[in-house]
Amino acid sequence: MATRHKPSSATYVFKTLPTPVGRLRLVGSDGGLAAILWENDDPKRVPLPIAGESPEHPVLVEVARQLDEYFAGERLTFDLPLDFHGTVFQKDVWTALLNVPYGQTRSYAQIAEQIGRPTATRAVGAANGRNPISIIAPCHRIIGTNGTLTGFAGGLDAKAWLLRHEGSLAAPPGLERNVRRV
């Protein structure tokens, strides 16, 4: 994957992007994408000092372009500078997420094994829940060991929509009814 990590202490700005799964708030700095926040996101999930809106910020314009391509079915991977922060363990989990291919899923236990912490399944779940860059670091591709869909910051309907979009989940009747088309 060609995604790059660049640390930054710059000011964070945002741009709002309408998508098939609702309005996303893209947060970034000159260093890269820092977060993708959902409409009803818990502000404590990804606490960032956001200075204000900047819809023409070059990093956010590029993130929006690549997400638009993803939602149109024209992009399978992302090539973006990243400026996300967390503990060493969280970053290990998020890096593992970046390596789960489009159209595939993994369990929390498989991610724990992959990062060399086979008994840390619950901690992997917690780190997955704090993933600041949903969709880019595809936490929606992580499911329960028994194949069930589990928590997702954007909600389970959005998670199911993303997995169906990628071809890794069949659409049961009526599940899509609560996903907003914006």
Is 21 tagged catalytic? Answer: no
- Which of 139, 153, 162, 169 is catalytic? The answer is 139
DSSP string, the chain: ---EE----S-EEEEEEEETTEEEEEEEETTEEEEEE-TT--TTTS---EEEE-TT-HHHHHHHHHHHHHHTT--SS---EE-----HHHHHHHHHHHTS-TT--EEHHHHHHHTT-TT-HHHHHHHHHT-SBTTTS-GGGEE-TTS-----TT-HHHHHHHHHHTTSS---TTGGGG----
Q: Which residues are catalytic?
A: 139
